[in-house]
Amino acid sequence: MKCQKCDNEATVHEVMIKGGKQVEKHLCEICAKAEGFAVQSKGQVATLLTQFLATQVTPTAQGEGVRSACRSCGTTYAQFRATGDLGCPDCYAAFDAQLGPLLERAHEGGGRHVGKVPKRLAHLQRAAMTEASELAPKTPPAPSTGAPSGPVKATRTVVDPHVQLASLRAQLQGAVAGERYEDAARLRDQLKTLESGANEAQGEAGIAGQVQGPNRPGEQPT
Amino acid sequence: MSDTPVPPPPPPPGFSPTSPAAVRRGAPWLRGTGCHADVVVSSRVRLARNLAGTPFVKKASREHRQRVALIAQARLQAVASTEKLAWVDLSACSQLDRTLLVERHLISKELARGEDPRGVAISHDEQISIMVNEEDHLRLQVIRSGLELSEALAQIDALDDRLEGTTLGASVPILADASVAGGPGGGASGLNYAFSPKYGYLTACPTNVGTGLRLSVMLHLPALKLTGEMEKMRRAARDMSLAVRGYYGESSEAVGDFFQISNQTTLGKSEQALLATFAQEIIPQVIHYEREARRKLIEKRRRMVEDQVLRALGALRYARLLTPEEATTLLSQVRLGILAGLITDVPEQTVNQLILLTQPAHLQRVLGREMDQGERREARADLVRQQLSV
The string of DSSP codes covering B299-345 is HHHHHHHHHHHHHHHHHHHH-S---HHHHHHHHHHHHHHHHTTS--S
Q: Give the H/E segment covering residue A197.
A: helix A181-202
Question: Which of chain B's residues have a Cβ under 8 Å away from the Cβ of A47?
Answer: none
What pLDDT sits at residue B338?
97
At B45, is the secondary structure helix, strand, or coil? strand
Strands (DSSP E) found in chain A = 12-18, 21-27
pLDDT per residue as tens digits for the range B306-331:
999 999 999 999 999 999 999 999 99
A112:B266 CB<8 A: no
User: d(Cα B287, Cα B40) in Å, to the nearest integer?
Assistant: 8
Give every CB contact of residue B196 below 8 A, 6+ residues apart in sequence. A89, A92, A93, A113, A207, A209, A210, A211, B202
Instruction: Confirm or reject contact between B390 and chain A (CB < 8 A).
Output: no
Give the residue from chain B lying closest to A124, CA to CA: B169
Mutate which: A113, A159, A172, vs B, most B CBs within 10 A: A113
B196:A209 CB<8 A: yes
Helix pair B373-387, B283-318: axis angle to 10 deg: 100
User: d(Cα B53, Cα A181) in Å, to the nearest integer?
Assistant: 42
Q: Examine the pLDDT at A45 and tell me if it is beyond 60.
A: no
Mean pLDDT value across residues B262-271: 94
DSSP state of B40: E
Separation in Å, CA A43 to CA A20, A50, A112, B233: 38, 11, 20, 14
DSSP state of A144: G
Question: Which of chain A's residues have a Cβ under 8 Å away from the Cβ of B211?
Answer: 113, 115-116
B267:A89 CB<8 A: no
Specify the range with the lowest mean pLDDT, choosing from A194-208, B202-216, B301-315: A194-208
Count chain A–chain B contacts defined by CB atoms under 8 A: 187
**Least CB–CB distance from A85: residue in B166, B174, B205:** B205
A107:B210 CB<8 A: yes
Q: Examine the pLDDT at B134 and tell me if it is beyond 70.
A: yes
Q: How many CA atoms within 13 Å lie on the side-chain side of B129?
A: 22
A106:B173 CB<8 A: no
Give every CB contact of residue B135 below 8 A, 6+ residues apart in sequence. B48, B56, B57, B58, B110, B203, B204, B205
Give every CB contact of residue A140 below 8 A, 6+ residues apart in sequence. none
What pLDDT sits at residue B1?
39
User: d(Cα B379, Cα A24) in Å, to the nearest integer?
Assistant: 69
Mean pLDDT value across residues A141-147: 37
Specify the range with the lowest mean pLDDT, choosing from A144-148, B40-44, B263-267: A144-148
What pLDDT sits at residue A163?
57
How many Å lie between the alpha carbon of A144 and the closest alpha carbon of chain B?
A: 36
Q: Examine the pLDDT at A184 and tell me if it is beyond 70.
A: yes
**Least CB–CB distance from A49: residue in B59, B202, B207:** B207
pLDDT per residue as tens digits for the range B246-257:
776 555 566 789
* CA–centroid distance for B340 within its chain: 27
Show the CA angle centred on residue B385, arms to residues B382 and B388, nearest 5°: 150
How many Å lie between the alpha carbon of A143 and the closest alpha carbon of chain B?
A: 32
Instruction: Confirm or reject contact between B270 and chain A (CB < 8 A).
Output: yes
How many Å lie between the alpha carbon of B239 and the closest alpha carbon of chain A?
A: 6
B197:A117 CB<8 A: yes
Query: What is the per-residue burial (b if ≥16 Cβ within 10 Å, else e) of B96-115?
Result: ebbbbbbbbbbbbeebbeee
**Least CB–CB distance from A111: residue in B56, B205, B268:** B268
What pLDDT sits at residue B144?
96
Instruction: Confirm or reject contact between B192 and chain A (CB < 8 A).
Output: yes
What pLDDT sits at residue B248?
61
Polymer length of chain B:
390
**Least CB–CB distance from A214: residue in B54, B192, B213:** B192
Model confidence at B136, pLDDT cuts 50, 70, 90, reads very high
Instruction: Confirm or reject contact between B59 and chain A (CB < 8 A).
Output: yes
**What's the CA dihedral at B141, B142, B144, B148 to 10 degrees?**
-120
Instruction: Confirm or reject contact between B164 and chain A (CB < 8 A).
Output: yes
What pLDDT sits at residue A18?
63
Q: Give the H/E segment covering residue A156.
A: helix A150-156
Pair B211, B201: CB distance under 8 Å = yes
Separation in Å, CA A110 to CA A46, A77, A124, B223, B357: 15, 22, 20, 36, 42
Give the residue from chain B lying closest to A210, CA to CA: B196
Q: How many CA atoms within 13 Å lie on the side-chain side of A93?
A: 22
A46:B271 CB<8 A: no
Question: Which of chain A's residues have a Cβ under 8 Å away from the Cβ of B181?
Answer: none
User: d(Cα B265, Cα B301) in Å, to the nearest integer?
Assistant: 39
A103:B50 CB<8 A: no
What pLDDT sits at residue A196?
66
Question: Which of chain A's residues have a Cβ under 8 Å away from the Cβ of B195?
Answer: 117-118, 121, 211
B53:A213 CB<8 A: yes
